[in-house]
Chain A
């Protein structure tokens, strides 16, 4: 099958790969590029574990055709920390005991980063709305909402 060349920016690095026509962005990121931080929970666009940012906006990478990100900027959890320094969201999730199994965490972080980048001081309701497309089966959500609010207070829109 002829492959399509694809170039995009991934967390400040340039990526050039050949992809199968119709391949999903999550498959290209995980199996093509080796960024394993987006997780596949449903491949139906209902769980949010695969959330990445495309030009700063949250998208479900399982439902995104890889070919549509040509020339665009992708952010994943792999690029969230600045070198050894954790992002305020990561610190808040750690200190808030906001993860148990950790499988939804990448997607939660991306969805909440998108929120804090555009709304540095969100209300509780805005936080809830921002992560309402991300499912968590372990925590009951409250520690996650609290962590995002806490990160915002500590300058999470870094």
Chain B
């Protein structure tokens, strides 16, 4: 028995948002009487952090602290229309809608503050801490809370905003496939290290180095959550998961987690991540959705690493010990390719 080490590489790009557009998202923002802001969405938080990232986007755009903003997702009576949380459209589409709704609310807030301070609204700025002040004269200021109270109880003004973001529908050309698939792309490159046991065919991923380009990390910890969890899922897809182990036959399809295999906490792979940020011009603060694309490069990188380790091309997923072992036997033994 020999353990063979190998390294594999893959790089990808990923389209952000529903292909060919036609997928609007809306947001509504309004202030409470004392200048806190509520964001109503019909987007879904599946764990990716929709509530959290839109909260930061709204706070940044309005110019108030994040603690003064709360996001509610998905009551069809109060949340405006949204296509849903899929196709990496949440951050891009919903984020843009939240920016627009928040910009409108900010505009009203600044006008209300201007009336109180008896200045031109264009001369005002927010400090992000709950105050609105005259540019260049921080002492001439009013709090957001005072502004909201004055707007509602004195000026008869709402501090509210509506936002919609739509890439209009387009279509693919039947003859050439010409299309405007999306407006921005995320990127990733990844090096996977594996150890392959040539007696059992077992593959263990021992390390991952990665570079993910996400436009802008709107919340670096949320990005980290996606990248770590996504790479885990990529390893799982590459080595373990399928509902039909003998596809296209449907036999032996797993019906529980004893037979549907995924790596457990004992198989955590050390993962060293670099995040690159090249903002996309039509994305909210430049941010592209990292959630889907982060798993994709892992699958081919693992396959390439297995080839590097033992000289077996695994072109059918998942890369089970059986496939590796059959490949090694067909080659008359492991044939390491170096590079490890």
Q: Quick check: do A and B touch in the complex, using CB within 8 A?
A: yes
B258, A142: Cβ atoms closer than 8 Å: no
How many A-B pairs fall under 8 Å by CB?
61
B231, A140: Cβ atoms closer than 8 Å: yes
Looking at B43-51, B167-175, B177-185, B282-290, the stretch in contact with chain A turns out to be B43-51
Q: In angstroms, how far is the closest chain A Cβ from the Cβ of B86?
A: 15
A139, B224: Cβ atoms closer than 8 Å: no
List, in ascending order, chain B residues with CB within 8 A of A100's CB: 47-49, 225, 229
Listed residue (A46, A132, A142, A145) with the most chain B CB atoms within 10 angstroms of its CB:
A142
B232, A42: Cβ atoms closer than 8 Å: no
Q: How many residues of A contact B (CB 8 A)?
A: 25
A127-B265 Cα distance, complex, nearest whole Å: 9
Q: Is A18's CB within 8 Å of the partner chain B?
A: no
Q: Is B257's CB within 8 Å of the partner chain A?
A: yes
Q: Is A128's CB within 8 Å of the partner chain B?
A: yes
A46-B268 Cα distance, complex, nearest whole Å: 19
Q: Is B228's CB within 8 Å of the partner chain A?
A: yes
List, in ascending order, chain A residues with CB within 8 A of B48's CB: 100
**Dominant secondary structure at the A interface:** loop
Instruction: Please provide the chain A residues from 115 to 139 with a CB less than 8 Å away from any CB of chain B in the complex.
Output: 127-129, 131-132, 135, 137-139
List, in ascending order, chain B residues with CB within 8 A of A142's CB: 228, 268
List, in ascending order, chain B residues with CB within 8 A of A131's CB: 265
List, in ascending order, chain B residues with CB within 8 A of A127's CB: 265
Q: Is A60's CB within 8 Å of the partner chain B?
A: no
B229, A44: Cβ atoms closer than 8 Å: no
A101-B50 Cα distance, complex, nearest whole Å: 11
With A143-B225, A143-B228 in contact, do A128 and B47 touch (Cβ < 8 Å)? no
A132, B264: Cβ atoms closer than 8 Å: yes
Contact of A138 (CB < 8 Å), options: B47, B258, B268: B47
Interface string of A53-87 (1 = CB under 8 A from B): 00000000000000000000000000000000000
List, in ascending order, chain A residues with CB within 8 A of B251's CB: none
